[in-house]
Amino acid sequence: MQPISIQVVGGSLGGLTAACLLRDDGHDVTVYERSSRELEERGAGIGFLSATAKYLVDRAGLDVGEISVATDHIRYLHRDGSVAHDQAHRYYFSSWNTVYRRLLNCFDVDRYRLGHELVDFSQTEASVTSTFANGEHATSDLLVAADGIGSMTRARLQPEAQRSFAGYVAWRGMVPESELPREIVEQLGDAITYFVYANSHILVYPIPNIAGSVDPGDRLINFVWYRNYLDGGDLDDLLTDRDGVRRDLSVPPGAMSRRHEAEARATANARLPTVIAAVVEATEDLFIQSIHDIEVNAMAFGRIALLGDAAFSVRPHAAAGTAKAADDGWALAAALRREPSLEAALATWETSQLALGQSLLARTRDVGGRSQVTSTWVPGDPDLIFGLHRPGD
């Protein structure tokens, strides 16, 4: 089909990937981001699956080694720190900031519009119009809603698709390698390292530093620790920051209740292998993300498409959340090239991406249940390998 005008609402990784791809195909693309400043995630680690890396490698010409850290082992520890399981397997890990900065550099700065929070939208047979909190309006042929887990677009178009708390949160943190003893860096720097115990697990892996350096000694050691909490009072208390403000989904670095931070460090020292507990202890500011599921039964609504977390929010256990958002963008661009009309393109795209979202959500629910509920997580199980379409893919 002929090039069209497209507005992408949400300028995070999924929205930026889609915007770059659609721009490359000749479409007139503008990104509207609610934040008044360029985004920042304090460098939190992400699994760098091929769908996430694909644009930067295939289109921007970057080497994967410039933007991620490779690990060659999946390693499990016993409580005493001895190795319980070790298998050769290559993963790539990056940081949210590193990928965001590189994608942003690929897009047109004058088409990435900050300070545009979507507050309303409407559509006709011929166009779709967005209204932003600053009073501006935008009209285009297509609206790609990449506005995340709290998507206003999804709430309007599919209000029955409510998020569901999974029963646990991810405690997170990063420590510069330079601030850890050399023996700890040597133990943790070449692998993704797990410790699994009753109804919980923690994983540790190296990532680029805040500036994007992947050089040994400059990198960060990143951890993600899943811990169970009861919905309601327990979760409310945990999500109440040190200023007494109840946060919605997460508490950022520097805002965690000091009482909860102290409890987490004490639990790490009591329950985790010393080498992993040392990383938790050395983290300056712990932070948390509550784990939720969101599932939709439609992703295309006339001239509006839901992309990434605006459609499906999946648990992190396949390391595929950012990959799913990127894949949505690749699939949308391909459908618009192949099909003769926007309606046909969105129908084709929706069919494939709904199936992928449903499959990924089911798989991550299963993996999370093995760890946090049934305690049936078995080191070496091939079902636990990261992947988007299936384990290892």
pLDDT in tens, 233-290: 999 999 999 999 999 999 999 999 999 999 999 999 999 999 999 999 999 999 999 9
Q: How crowded is residue 124: how many other Cβ atoms within 10 Å of its Cβ?
A: 10
- Cβ neighbours of 337 (radius 10 Å): 11
Instruction: Note the CATH architecture for domain 5-37+114-163+294-384.
Output: 3-Layer(bba) Sandwich (3.50)
Per DSSP, the residues of 225-257 read: EEEE--TTHHHHHHTB-TTS-B-SSEE-TT-S-
Spell out the domain ranges in the chain: 5-37+114-163+294-384, 64-93+167-292
Cβ-proximal residues to 366 (8 Å cutoff; 6+ apart), any chain: 383
Q: What is the pLDDT of residues 80-133, one digit of tens each?
A: 999 999 999 999 999 999 999 999 999 999 999 999 999 999 999 999 999 999
pTM here is 0.96
Q: Do 5-37+114-163+294-384 and 64-93+167-292 come out as alike in CATH topology? A: no
Pairing of strands 5-9, 28-32: parallel
Short-list 90, 275, 95, 267, CA closest to 182? 275
Interval 162-202: pLDDT, tens? 999 999 999 999 999 999 999 999 999 999 999 999 999 99
pLDDT digits (tens, 9 = 90+) for 11-70: 999 999 999 999 999 999 999 999 999 887 656 899 999 999 999 999 999 999 999 999
Q: Does domain 64-93+167-292 have CATH number 3.40.50.300?
A: no
Q: Which amino acid is at 223?
A: F
Q: Are 98 and 212 in contact (CB under 8 A)?
A: yes
Q: DSSP secondary structure string, 175-205? A: EEGGGS-HHHHHHHTTEEEEEEETTEEEEEE
For residues 27 and 6, give the distance between their C-alpha atoms in angstroms, rounded to a whole number. 7
- Give how far Cα 270 sits from Cα of 73, 92, 265, Å: 26, 31, 9
Q: At what angle do helices 13-24 and 96-106 cross, to 10 degrees?
A: 30
The pLDDT of residue 41? 66
